[in-house]
């Protein structure tokens, strides 16, 4: 086993994972806010934020889809060692990770069903940067309006139209995370 596989996990798993979980939940509860997140040092091309989110939310019963460049030997082995998460195709995943273009088309992912809307995928979208600029966001968890740099607007508007079904999104860049739950309206 390579040393890279063994390294990059949480130094103190109980503390680091609880801090990371709090950051992800804050991001989901307050769409459009950028939170700092740290604890993992995954292999390239994953950002520290994406690796931290995966270590925090995935385990042996969490199917993950690696899209595009994220689907490389180093990431597959690292994720398997640190989480045991099974790697699957987009139609079977609970989490998918990659850059926006590699995750397309969004219709490939489960959006839940009327009986089980929670059985949808969450896409972890790697971004070059996250900033409070761009698309306007309104909805639960947002006092008046928030703004977030999104890769596009139309896809998120179409996703919102599926509510209560639909996808949830976690955006990562460097050591930052932001989220866009399916309840958020984008304009």
- The pair of structure tokens assigned to 138 is 């309104």
- What is the Cα–Cα distance from 36 to 141, expressed in whole angstroms? 18
- Domain 3-186 maps to which CATH number in 3.30.565.60, 3.30.930.10, 1.25.40.10, 3.40.50.11310? 3.40.50.11310
- Quick one: pLDDT at residue 6? 67
- pTM for the complete prediction? 0.95
Banded pLDDT at 1 (limits 50, 70, 90)? very low
- Per the DSSP assignment, residues forming a β-bridge with 101 are none
Average pLDDT of the chain is: 95
Residue-wise pLDDT tens digits, 63-88:
999 999 999 999 999 999 999 999 99
Question: How many helices and strands, by DSSP H and E, does the chain display?
Answer: 6, 9
Place of tokens 């947002």: 142
- Rounded to an integer, what is the distance from CA 64 to the centroid of its chain? 11
Each domain of the chain, given as residue ranges in start order, spans 3-186
pLDDT of 2 above 60: no
Give the distance from CA 86 to its chain's centroid.
16
């Amino acid at each position: 086993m390579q040393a890279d596989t063994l390294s990059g996990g949480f130094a103190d798993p109980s503390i680091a994972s609880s801090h990371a979980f709090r950051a992800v939940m804050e991001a989901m509860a307050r769409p459009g806010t950028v939170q700092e997140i740290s604890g993992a040092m995954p292999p390239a091309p994953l950002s520290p934020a994406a690796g931290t989110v995966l270590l925090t939310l995935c385990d042996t019963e969490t199917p993950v889809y690696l899209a595009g460049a994220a689907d490389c030997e180093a990431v597959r082995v690292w994720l398997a060692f640190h989480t045991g998460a099974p790697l699957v195709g987009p139609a079977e995943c609970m989490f998918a990770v990659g850059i926006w273009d590699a995750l397309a088309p969004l219709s490939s992912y489960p959006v839940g069903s009327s009986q089980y809307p929670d059985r949808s995928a969450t896409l972890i979208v790697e971004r070059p940067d996250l900033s409070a600029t761009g698309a306007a966001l309104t909805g639960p968890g947002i006092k008046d309006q928030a703004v977030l740099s999104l890769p596009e607007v139309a896809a998120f508007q179409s996703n919102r139209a599926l509510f209560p079904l639909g996808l949830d999104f976690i955006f990562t860049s460097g050591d930052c995370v932001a989220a866009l739950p399916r309840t958020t309206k984008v304009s």
